[in-house]
Amino acid sequence: MSSNKSPRAKRNRSSKSNDQHKAGASTSAAPRGAEELPSLLIDQSNLPAAAGGLAERLASSSKLFQRGAGLVKLIETADGFSTLDLNVHDVVNHAHQVCRPVVKKIVRGEVVVEAVTLPDRVARLYLNRHDAWGVPHLDGICRAPILANDGSIRVARGYDTDTRFWCTGIELPSVPERPSRKQAEAALRTLRKPFASFPFADAQTIVSPSGLPVVDPSQQPGIDETTYLLAVLTAVCRPSLPLAPGFIVRSPQYSGAGTGKGLLVRAASQIAYNFSPKAFTSSGERAELEKRLTAALVAADPVIFLDNVNAEVVRSNLLAQIATENPCAIRRFRENTKVVSITSSAFLAMTGNATTVSEDLARRFLIVELDAGCEDPEQRPFDEDFRSTIKQKRNELLAAALTIWRWGRRNQSKPGLALGSFEQWATWCRDPLLALGCPDPVRRISEIKRDDPLRAQVVEFFTTWHELYGERPMKVKELDIRLCRLADPQERGSRQSLASFVARLEGTRAGGFVMLRIKSPSRWSPSSYALKRTE
């Protein structure tokens, strides 16, 4: 039977069929269930309104957070969770999970709603809303039990509104409600036992049945072993503390490889967080180090681990801030002109041979010295099952650390030496160990400062100055050439660089002296400087 339809009717039918095909293609491209999602109208004449509507819908997402002044997405990794900065493509992807972007068109005189992909411009407008995103603030990723000053311990899962942490993988071992001193002493022995074969430099040792030197368990820990035990307690408590010092595990320069520095840091992380931290190295350049530290801060990693910092004098204003300021100010990558504040609860650890910290870091890090007492430590027999032992006994070791901590919270301990900025850390982590007979690792900070090459340079500069001029005021142009050489050992400087060096020392106290600046009565005359004794 032949068709009697006109050519015009056939064209209309063909056009209608094509429109249906296009609509069908658009529908099939949408995610399953997209029709059930709320619509988000994209009005080309008012894209900011679309960005505002998108913010309302994305506020319900469980994977988007504000970290500092930026947006991040929570991602699942092999070790748990981490965060990444949110970009335009991420916004588009997340938008289609919570809403159905649509535009209105007039087709043959009728208003038609058509599904579209979220325009990039709307995504950029959304990213530029800053504090109007409506998503929760994320202060860090927590993998340890949450502790309180009264000795209580709790476990959280997912986002915890009280701490603003994303909590994951937290297990709570059995811990006595009110530990006795006897239980605390037993917990200390439990915590010491797995690390007896490590060559803590000042430890008293005995020969084990296998013929290896091990820490004598009948003797109280030395400062090096105590500092490491303190590092374990600090890692356990760090998410619940506003501030805490960092820890350096170091060994001699030419005979330090293979002493187990990295193993100790990873063991502390395994006990506290049940995972092995990602390590990064220092390139020796302060700018590059601070980029890597910034990336670790944004990622909200529980541990910031600098590994193999060998024969290096570490100086970093950002690292000093992370230890003593929370939140701390950072410049995000590719945003050098923009300073933002970001919170951190990261445990700070560093390893290396002949590693030294300088300037403000000297009082912000405690040092664990390892010395195997042989030329080739890597050839020593070592327990190959050490890592598996830590994993197997993780709950027992975590319970021991928490028992010591809770015993300290429920029983007032005599405080040790004061350490500014870390008062709560001292009462939570250090003072319970002191009460159990351990020495105070804070005593070593004076040695750390003494070993700071820059501090040593200043002390020598002051001593020579005083030998030459006593306490009488001197102008920089009058200073002896020997002081120029001390200020610039490479002899690349000038009188101008010497003037800058001396000006930076105003108010500095070192070697029993303080540098004072005496302003000239004339605005055109240079200032004088005088060195006064403080002892």
Q: What's the confidence (pLDDT) of residue 359? A: 67
Q: Is the dihedral of CA 178, 179, 181, 184 positive or negative?
A: negative
Q: Which residue has 């803590």 as its token pair?
A: 200
* Of residues 453 and 173, more confidently modeled: 173
- Dump strand ranges (E) for 338-398: 339-342, 347-353, 356-357, 365-369
- How many Å is the Cα radius of gyration of the chain? 31
Angle at 441 between CA 270 and CA 173, to 5 degrees: 30
Q: What distances in angstroms separate CA 346 from CA 244, 334, 365, one per listed residue?
A: 9, 23, 14
Please check the confidence at residue 15 and state whether its pLDDT lies above 70: no
Q: pLDDT (tens digit, 9 = 90+) per residue, 468-507?
A: 999 999 888 888 888 888 887 766 656 677 888 888 888 8
**Residue 442's pLDDT band (boundaries 50, 70, 90)?**
very high
Q: State percent of the chain over pLDDT 90.
A: 49
d(CA 500, CA 531): 16
Q: What backbone phi and psi angles, to 5 degrees, belong to 55?
A: -60, -40
Q: State percent of the chain over pLDDT 70.
A: 87
Please check the confidence at residue 402 and state whether its pLDDT lies above 90: yes
Please check the confidence at residue 58 and state whether its pLDDT lies above 90: yes
Q: What's the confidence (pLDDT) of residue 235? A: 98
Q: Which helix (H) or strand (E) holds 104?
A: strand 100-107
Q: pLDDT (tens digit, 9 = 90+) per residue, 218-259?
A: 999 999 999 999 999 999 999 999 999 999 999 987 656 778
Q: Are 311 and 287 in contact (CB under 8 A)?
A: no
Stretch 274-302: mean pLDDT: 84
Query: Among residues 111, 124, 118, which one has the least CA distance to residue 97?
Result: 118
182: tokens are 């006897």
3 state SS of 363: helix
Please check the confidence at residue 49 and state whether its pLDDT lies above 60: yes
* Of residues 444 and 27, more confidently modeled: 444
For the beta carbon of residue 26, count every other beta carbon within 10 angstroms: 13
What's the count of helices (H) and strands (E) in the chain, helices before strands?
17, 25
Domain boundaries, the chain: 20-132, 181-450, 452-533
Stretch 112-140: mean pLDDT: 94
Please check the confidence at residue 7 and state whether its pLDDT lies above 70: no
Q: What's the confidence (pLDDT) of residue 28? A: 34
The whole model's pTM is what?
Answer: 0.80
Q: What's the confidence (pLDDT) of residue 94? A: 95
Q: What backbone phi and psi angles, to 5 degrees, belong to 493?
A: -85, -175
d(CA 459, CA 128): 51
3 state SS of 373: coil
The top-scoring range by mean pLDDT among 269-283, 331-345, 510-524 is 269-283
344: tokens are 């951190």
d(CA 196, CA 203): 10
d(CA 402, CA 408): 10
Stretch 172-201: mean pLDDT: 96
Please check the confidence at residue 386 and state whether its pLDDT lies above 80: yes
511: tokens are 């070697």
- Dump strand ranges (E) for 155-200: 158-160, 165-167
Which of 81-85, 302-306, 494-498, 503-507 is predicted with the least confidence, judged by mean pLDDT? 494-498
Please check the confidence at residue 335 and state whether its pLDDT lies above 60: no
**Residue 32's pLDDT band (boundaries 50, 70, 90)?**
very low
Please check the confidence at residue 59 and state whether its pLDDT lies above 50: yes
Helix axes 223-237, 261-273, angle to 10 degrees: 40
d(CA 510, CA 464): 13
One-letter amino acid at 64 equals L
Please check the confidence at residue 73 and state whether its pLDDT lies above 70: yes
Exposure string for 366-386, b = 16+ CB within 10 A, e = fewer: bbbbbbbeeeebeebebeeeb
Q: What's the confidence (pLDDT) of residue 47? A: 96
